[in-house]
Structure 1
Amino acid sequence: MLTLTNVTWLDLCLAGVAVYLVKQMLNKNPAPYPPGPRGLPLIGNIQDMPHIRPWLTFAEWGKKYGPISHVEILGQHIIVLNSVKSAMDMLDKKGAVYSDRPVLPMCGELCGWKHVLALLPYGDRFRQYRKNIHRIMGNRAALDVYHPVEEIETRRFLKRVFSKPGELQDHVRHTAGAIILRISHGYEVKEKNDPFIDLADRAMDQFSRSTAHGAFMVDIMPFLAKVPEWFPGAGFKRLAREWNKTREEMAAIPYEFVKDQMAAGIAPKSFTSKLLEGQTLSVEEDHMVKWSAASLYLGGSDSTVSAIYSLFLAMTLFPHVQKKAQAEIDTVVGTDRLPSFTDRDSLPYIEALVKEVLRWNVVGPTAFPHRVTEDDIHDGYYIPKGSLVIPNAWFMLNDPQAFADPSQFNPERFLDNDGKDPEPEPRTICFGFGRRICPGLHLADASVWISTAMSLAVFDISKVVENGVEITPEVDPTSGTVSHPKPFKCFIKPRSAKAAALIQQDANY
């Protein structure tokens, strides 16, 4: 007699295959699927789906099969988009059909991240989250009130780098967390070992790991979510239980901090306090405010870390770009003060440099998949309901047809040069598409801009020399929902004695 204790993974896989076969027998498609690699009988393209740097494999599919390609894994259809036009036509123009999110068994269900904006299904709660965020920071002008916070925290960043340049990555992460926590919850972080920063870093790491393509078999065969923790091979469920606890603390602890501060009458203005002020909330409304704030942190912190760390990598590898940027700052701002947001319109090369940071080392190479809510025929191809649609932003921003010599870091591609039109605006691609575009994009853009302008005003960034040998960092981004440059060494020093004095000024100045 077959009991649960002697059911094997093979039995479970066979059950999944049986479901797949029944579906296949019942299907009669009105049009062909988009082209793609030929799958195997029963299991489809399970062996074709890449786990490491998937954007590179997707780009190869684009070259071979065209801008829209298709694979199928045990009945789950996956559509990969390798052109901006396809992404705009489907995800923007057909947003009512292409704006849902898939159910992610590991990240969304078992770890509980389904409450965050990035994973919410398209519907009323999704629209309310976005309305909350848009109301506070829906455009550049609305962010003016937060500029002093960003400038103060970036000044503190300069001090940290000046004091301990070898800990650059930690400083970038600390500062990104400090900015977003002050804006989202009015919380001013401690200089060292801040509990909110530590908690958020753990949650972000776990979120990234839980959403990695192909990392957990339960995402391919969702029925595995029902097996008990003690079942052989079900270690992912014990991991999910631990990660769920971190996720809940990351959202709840800062939220309760704001409530306590408001009750005491000492809460500074923040995203959360504005949504709570003068309100008596239902349980559902309270949930939405808490997770709107948590979504703001999740969407802004890790991506900003990746972009600013990429800036320092680019300046290490392309010193001529650094010199041009510094020359513009010196001419427009001078050397007696640091740049501020009031200088932004007067620094076109810095503006172009920030665009190139966002293009060159793409923060979200494949982003989160969209989910199709109705059958669709697009360009003669059948896109069935429930398909996952993955826009390959990495290729769109490295397409040699759109960007000349894309591996090179060249801000001038975004400037008018001898009557030649600038290359495409990367911010229309790197922040997502359609109704799923990142609602905090203006905040992320502002954070990268002020870090770029202030850092290049006072620091020279160059390659490290060890034992007489110059060390050239690798451009080797990590896989994950948010991609980061591989840790690297660089040499950072003040540009002059005057620059060192500017760095050491009171950060609250």
Structure 2
Amino acid sequence: MNSALALLVVPIAYTLYKRHLENARQYPLPPGPKKLPIVENLFHVPRGGYLWLDYAEMCRRYESNIIHLSALGNSIIILNSAKAVSDLLDKRSSIYSSRPATVMLGELMGWGAAFIFRPNDEFWKAQRKIMNQAMPPTDPKRFHAQQISSTHDLLRVLPHSDDVMKSLQTWAAVFIMDVTYGIQGEEAKPYLPTVMAALESMSVAGTPGAFYVDQIPILKYVPEWFLGADFKRKAREWAKLRVEMTESAFNVTKERVAKGIATPSLTSVALEQMDPNQDIAQQEELIKTASVTAYGGGSDTTVAALGAGILALLMHPEVQAKAHAELDKVLGPGDLPTFSDEPSLPYISAIVKEALRENPITPLAFPHQLTQDDIYEGYFLPKDSIIMPNVWSILHNEEEYPEPHLFNPSRFLDADGKLNPDIKDPASAVFGFGRRICPGRHIALASLWIAIASILACYTIEPDLDEDGNPIPPKAEWYSGPTLFNHPLAFKCRFVPRSKDVEASLGISLS
């Protein structure tokens, strides 16, 4: 099959390669691995787990924070520093804000219209408008009541959980289901298995280099039964998950809006604001796509970030001790934190920042696409290049964050114990860049803050016990398969109540 594929792609690859050479005569491409005849860097593109580490090592090897690879005519540019990302994705956002087309994820699985993967076109702008109207950053208090209520539900579950990550998935998914569709509590849970499976398939298929069909689009015409075409079977199965995730909750909300019984949500508000003089079916499709994108983007990322935070706290009891001391100064016995306490709890805010920094949710940001030829620092950047910001490298820069391998929330505090505005906030890199920055980032940050503050107010996070009652030394293990999302593997720990007042506050018995 490899020989047949080579015969198919040689003419295309050679033509595209010649075009790049002609355009680059005046300025060189950024440094990178030596390009082989025909296939160029096809075999240099990382395809395993921890791609961000592979690209970071590649940048060190070529002593450059911007490197170039190409594979069968696809130009790939890695940005390995905050400066390069800011200079291009922020300051030149008019030509760096599109998304590359993906065959596996976009065409075969059908996610191409979703806001997060959509090119920078009118359909994308319309989806962003819907999200900004439903989740305006200027109104951060809009979802505070729901965030506090769902967090209290989580507090009641955690002491009895034998799978922390699964409990967090349920917590985040139920909250986002409420915000996005107005489907609340127990009613939301039947939707979760499909949603989790769909998000996992999306994260795998969206990983650059995970499937050869994205480098060799003609492979999409290979029949499913053909040797080596198992990606077609996966795409078919994963497309079914997308359809179910997109349609089921939307149809429930649409029906409730028609009956006048819908709970306010992104979907219900958008449906109620439709223009009756415009194409209704087209407007509904736009709302449906925006809603499923908001749901998917909000649930999986929040779980990964909070899971990373809890795991870090488990590994660092000294950090918990400092957090408990701060909380005890601000809260009375049995009191649970609210958002009004945030200014008085800088160390809690520092823990959130450090959790985002140490293990960023998307260590490689979703790829951007360059829409015209550009020149940067003497290098030629070809039109249609896939631009990949290495968020992990940005947040592990030793000049910005000394000893970046250490979990140290105090790095964000000044000598007086207040948040230091001179230290770069990891949120500036974690939630995207330029015009593609996540519109719901303020909701995600608020959810993380209230969850971590509440968990630490109620509990000490301690290692699990073996059958003899001895603590099991905790280990931090992370998913290592090809994926865009960075998340810890399932782990166990104990949430030990700090006082009897916790039981009274939550209205439960933990004994």
Aligned partner of 1:182 among 167, 178, 182:
178
Is the Cα contact below 8 Å between 1:458 and 1:503 reproduced in 2? no
From the superposition, tell whether residues 79 and 460 of structure 1 become closer, same or farther in structure 2 (CA, over 3 Å).
same
**Contiguous gaps of at least 5 residues in structure 2:** none
The 2-side partners of 1:339 and 1:213 are apart by 41
The 1-side partners of 2:88 and 2:506 are apart by 48
Deviates more, 1:409-418 or 1:145-154: 409-418
Question: How much does 1:477 deviate?
Answer: 4.7
The 1-side partners of 2:17 and 2:142 are apart by 56
Q: Hey, what does 1:101 align to over in structure 2?
A: 99
User: What are the Cα deviations for residues 448-473 of structure 1, in whole angstroms up to 9, with x where unaligned?
Assistant: 11110111110110223435464231
User: What are the Cα deviations for residues 102-152 of structure 1, in whole angstroms up to 9, with x where unaligned?
Assistant: 11110111000112111001111111111111122231x423121111111
Aligned partner of 2:499 among 493, 496, 503:
496
Q: How does 1:33-112 map to 2 (within 5 A)?
A: 33-51=29-47, 52-65=49-62, 66-112=64-110
The 2-side partners of 1:286 and 1:355 are apart by 37
Counterpart check, 1:212 vs 2:207? yes
User: What are the Cα deviations for residues 255-288 of structure 1, in whole angstroms up to 9, with x where unaligned?
Assistant: 1111111122211111111111153352221111
- AA at the equivalent of 2:91: K
The 1-side partners of 2:353 and 2:134 are apart by 24
Is the Cα contact below 8 Å between 1:339 and 1:457 reproduced in 2? yes
Deviates more, 1:274-283 or 1:108-117: 274-283
Q: Hey, what does 1:482 align to over in structure 2?
A: 485
- AA at the equivalent of 2:432: G
Q: Hey, what does 1:425 align to over in structure 2?
A: 425
Is the Cα contact below 8 Å between 1:160 and 1:171 reproduced in 2? yes
TM-score (norm 2): 0.93
The 2-side partners of 1:63 and 1:503 are apart by 51
Deviates more, 1:39-48 or 1:437-446: 39-48
Q: How does 1:10-25 map to 2 (within 5 A)?
A: 10-25=3-18
Q: How does 1:132-281 map to 2 (within 5 A)?
A: 132-139=130-137, 141-162=138-159, 164-190=160-186, 194-279=189-274, 280=276
Is the Cα contact below 8 Å between 1:132 and 1:275 reproduced in 2? yes
- AA at the equivalent of 1:343: D
Aligned partner of 1:346 among 344, 347, 352:
344
Is the Cα contact below 8 Å between 1:165 and 1:492 reproduced in 2? no
User: What are the Cα deviations for residues 409-451 of structure 1, in whole angstroms up to 9, with x where unaligned?
Assistant: 1111111126987421111111111111111101111111111
The 2-side partners of 1:9 and 1:410 are apart by 49
The 2-side partners of 1:211 and 1:451 are apart by 29
Q: Hey, what does 1:403 align to over in structure 2?
A: 401
Provide the secondary structure at the position in 2 that maps to 1:462: strand
Aligned partner of 2:312 among 308, 314, 318:
314
From the superposition, tell whether residues 38 and 9 of structure 1 become closer, same or farther in structure 2 (CA, over 3 Å).
closer
The 1-side partners of 2:209 and 2:142 are apart by 42
Q: In angstroms, what is the RMSD of aligned CA positions?
A: 1.9
Is the Cα contact below 8 Å between 1:361 and 1:477 reproduced in 2? no
Provide the secondary structure at the position in 2 that maps to 1:382: strand
The 1-side partners of 2:508 and 2:259 are apart by 33
The 2-side partners of 1:212 and 1:357 are apart by 23
Name the % identity: 37
**Contiguous gaps of at least 5 residues in structure 1:** 1-7
Question: How much does 1:252 deviate?
Answer: 1.1
Q: Hey, what does 1:118 align to over in structure 2?
A: 116
TM-score (norm 1): 0.93
Provide the secondary structure at the position in 2 that maps to 1:118: coil
Q: How does 1:354-433 map to 2 (within 5 A)?
A: 354-417=352-415, 422-433=422-433
The 2-side partners of 1:332 and 1:218 are apart by 56
Is the Cα contact below 8 Å between 1:97 and 1:374 reproduced in 2? yes
